[in-house]
Structure 1
C-alpha cells in the first residue's frame, strides 16, 4: 500500500492542479483578451514625477498662454492660465521661455524634473498643477572655506563654487543671471537653523550685513558653533549684535543648501540653512521661526465657488 504523507499529498495535489487544464482541454488563460473599455472612466486623474525632455509654447494668446511639457515620454497639455511652481516663486507658462527656448539651464546635461497633477480627458493628459526643479533631491552640505565679498561667491569644502541667486540683492551682492530660480526675498530662504535671516556681506563694512552681528570668541575668531541670544533691540548699543539686522555667513560655517547648476561650474543657490543657533530675546520683536511644515486654507463664503491658485506679487 502506498502511504501519502502530508508532503506527498501536497505534491500530488499541485501536480493535479497543474495538469488539469491540459487533461480537460481548457484554453490557456494567458491568451485570453480581457473585455471592456481602455478608459473605464473619463476624465481620470493622474499624478506623475519624472524627467523633463521638452517644453513648448503652443498657445501665444497673451502672458498666460499655455503649451506642452514632455515628462518621461508623456506629452502633457499645459492649459492657459496655469501657474507653474518653482522652488521660490510661481510663474505663468510663457515666463519659463526666453523666446522659444525654455529657461532651464543645462537641460539635457543635468536632470530637470517635474511633478504634475492633472486629468486625462479623452486620452489627453491635461495638467492642473506643475512643479519644476533641477535635481529635486539635491541637498548639499559642507563648511564654507572661502568668501569673496566683491562677487558674493563662496566656496564649500574648497570644491563647490556657489553664489546666492539673489536678483534683488536681499541677502548679499546682486546676481541676476537666472531670476526664475531666485532665493525667496519675502520669506527668508537663507537662514540659521533657528530661522534667523543670514547674508553674504557686500564688503567688510556692509551696514545691512554687519560683521558685528557675529559674536567673537576669546581669541577674536567668529563663533561657528554658535548658540547665542541677541539682546533686546530697544537697548542694543552701536556695534553690538542687533536682532533687527541679518547676521553674516563667515568662513567655518556648516551649511545645508540647494541650488541650480549653471554653465561654468557655478551653483546658483536658492535655499541655504546654516547650523547656527541664533535666538532673539524673549518677549521682544522680531521673533524668527523655522517651520518644518505648514498647512494653508482659503476661506470662501460661497461653498460652490472653487478657490483657484493665485500668484503672489510682493510690493
Structure 2
C-alpha cells in the first residue's frame, strides 16, 4: 500500500447501527449491488462518479489531521447521504499489528468525517494479526456506531470476530482476469472457504466480491466489467456486493468504474448458484438491504490510498 511518504505492498485490500432512511431497499431484494473502492483525489467530478454505488471505501490518510483535501472528502460524504462511505484502516504493517491506540485514533477520525463504516484491511493471520485483535477492532468500530468490512485472505479469519448484521467480509481477488489461474481460492480449499462464507451469511454479514483490473480505470470497458462480474458471481455465489476497480483503484487516474456498468452486468449475468446453506431468515428492510442479509439491531493486492495524482 502506498501512503504518500511510504510504500507498503499489501493485500486489499455492537451496539446499534443507524440506518439512513434514504435507503429503501425492499426486504425481499436478492439482487446484489455495486460497491466501490476509490483511492483517488476527491475533485468536483468525484460527486458524479460515485453516483449509483451503495457503499464506497475511501483511501487511507483522508482521515488524518492536516490532510490537504480533507474538506473536500467531508463534503463528498455529507452531500451523498444515500451512499454508505467506509474509511480505510489497515490492521497490520504487513507483518505486525498496528498499535491499538493508533487504530482507535483512526477509527475516531473517520467517524468524525461522517463515514458509516470502517474497511479493515490486512486483517488476516497471514499478516500477523491475531484473532483477538480482529475481534477488538470490530468491537471498537461497533462501539462507535459504525459497520465493519473485514478483508482477510482466509475467510476463516473473519469467523468468531463479531461480524453480524450490517457488517461484511471482503473476498478480494478470488478472481482476477490478469492472473493465471484466474480463479484462486484462499489456500486452494474452495469447499471449506465457501462453507465459511455461508456461515458468515447465516450470521447476517454481507460478502463483497472484489477484483482489480491491471489497467487504468478509464480504460476499463463495459465488456470487461461484465466478464468480471459474471465470473465473480460463479466463484462467490453468495456475494451481496460487487466491485471492479482499475489499477490502484483510481489513485493514479482519479476515476471510478461507473456503478451503472456493474449494475448492468449484475442485471444480465446468470443468477449465482444458490449457496448450500440458507441465509438468515431475517431480511433487511432498510439501508443497504442487498448488501447484508439480516435485520440490524437498531432500526489488491497493492492498495493505494488517496493522494494527488
Which category describes the TM-score, using the shorter chain as reference length? under 0.3
TM-score of the pair, normalised by structure 1: 0.22
Between structures 1 and 2, the one with greater helix share? 2
TM-score of the pair, normalised by structure 2: 0.23
Higher relative contact order (CA 8 A, sep 6+): 2
Between structures 1 and 2, the one with greater strand share? 1
Structure showing greater radius of gyration is 1
